[in-house]
A and B are shown apart, each in its own frame.
Chain A
Amino acid sequence: MRKRNLSSLALFLAIIFLPYWIYLPLLLVAVIIFPLYWEGILFGFFIDILYGRGVTAFPSLLSPIAFITVILIIVLLPLRERLRFNV
């Protein structure tokens, strides 16, 4: 749990200060490593708010990073049972 929180904090700071080619792969790694990484969806929205065209209530399905994160988490749910991580 501590690792998860620290990683989330690092990811949050990376989104604010670092280039996208650092924080987007970090987000992907976090989604793969941590079980049900729901924080990733919030980070997706956060990226779209700060650097994208904003998130408006209904067409936010087109908010790309949050949407891709949701898909990834759902796809990884059954896959995770067959993988083992030491986290």
Chain B
Amino acid sequence: MKMNYLLKNRHKKNYSRKIIFIIGLFILGALAFSLFDNLLIKIISPLWRAENGFSRGLGRSADFFRSRQALMRENGTLKERLSSLELEVSELSLKKIELANLESLLGRTVYKESIAAGVLTHPPQSPYDLVVVDAGAHDGITVGARVTLPEGPLLGEVSEVFPTFSKVKLFSTSGEKTDAVLERHQVPVQLEGMGAGNFKIIVPRETEVVLGDRVLSSSLGSSLVAVVEDIKVTSTDPFKEILAKSPANIFSIRYVSVIK
């Protein structure tokens, strides 16, 4: 008996050309984007400024028509202002102690010259906890310059500088490690960024830490970096995990100070 076999209609496809195209495009893209990064951000930054202005303007006009909403918003703004002032007060009290300490250190002076900068983008627009500010090399900003809130708390460091704008890497960037000091007993610790303004600190179990304790930067003119929010202790672990949060709401920052 004669047997007829159907021909296989699924022949092997050759993807090598497509893969070469994709890899080639990736390499070319890397080269092109590395050359034009400054230009790209320069082109996009007016759109960010317009968006910031538009969203604020829209908010104001909506308040006019919705009085109840307006009151709620005003309440929110006042609360924000209150927390900002509280931060300022706590920062000032810290400065007082700092000043007393500094008086004992002969020959050392802390002189901070800072420049105000507007925030163009902040998380959650950026997936990397990076902030783009509208001050750059023309304003005397350099890589590594420290960035604070106008009220005082430390936010991060300048990671890239362009002529008219800069990128600021927040200390809370995931995996970022920063030396700091637990204020209560002046215990040196390492803050590990967890993203979205959160930090993790590992300390020996015996270290005394209380909710609300402040974590300061380890530099001479120490500033507030984070506040202890949660403490996790397990009975078998010789260490305890402290979860701290940046005192600033990084999702709504508008202005920062860059210390030159």
Chain A residues at the B interface, C-beta cutoff of 8 Å? 16-21, 24, 36, 38, 41-42, 45-57, 60-61, 63, 65-67, 70, 73-74, 77-78, 81
Query: Which residues of B approach A to under 8 Å, CB–CB?
Result: 13, 15, 18-19, 21-23, 25-26, 29-31, 33-34, 37, 40-41, 44, 47-48, 51, 121, 123-128, 130, 132, 159-160, 167, 169
Docked-complex contact A54 and B126, CB < 8 angstroms: no
CA distance A42 to B31 in the complex (A): 12
CB contacts (< 8 Å) of A41 on chain B: these are: 22, 25-26, 29
Q: Which A residues are CB-close (under 8 A) to B26?
A: 41, 66-67, 70
The A contact surface, by secondary structure, is helix
Q: A50-B44, A78-B13 are in contact. Are A70 and B23 (CB under 8 A)?
A: yes
B44 touches A16 (CB 8 A): yes
Q: Report the separation of the CA atoms of residues A65 and B47 in the bound assembly, to the nearest whole angstrom.
A: 23
Bound: A58/B116 CA distance, A: 34
Instruction: State how many angstroms separate the Cβ of A44 from the closest Cβ of chain B.
Output: 8
Q: In the assembled complex, which residues on chain B have CB atoms less than 8 Å from the CB atom of A70?
A: 22-23, 26
Distance A61 CA – B32 CA, assembled complex (angstroms): 14
**Are A38 and B25 interface neighbours, CB within 8 A?**
yes
Q: State the main secondary structure of chain B at its contact with A.
A: helix
| Residues A16 and B48 in contact in the complex (CB < 8 Å), given A55-B30, A57-B30 | yes
Question: What residues of B have a CB within 8 angstroms of the CB of A42 in the complex?
Answer: 25, 29
Of all chain A residues, which has the CB nearest B29? A45
Q: Which 8 A-B pairs have the closest CB atoms?
A: A51-B126, A60-B30, A19-B124, A20-B127, A45-B33, A55-B33, A57-B34, A77-B15
Write out the residue numbers on chain A whose beta carbons fall within 8 Å of the beta carbon of B21. Answer: 36, 38
Q: Would you give 24 A-B contacts (Cβ < 8 Å), ordered by A?
A: A16-B44, A20-B124, A38-B25, A45-B30, A46-B33, A46-B40, A48-B33, A50-B40, A50-B41, A50-B126, A51-B126, A52-B127, A52-B130, A53-B159, A53-B160, A54-B167, A55-B33, A57-B31, A60-B33, A70-B22, A74-B22, A77-B18, A77-B19, A81-B13
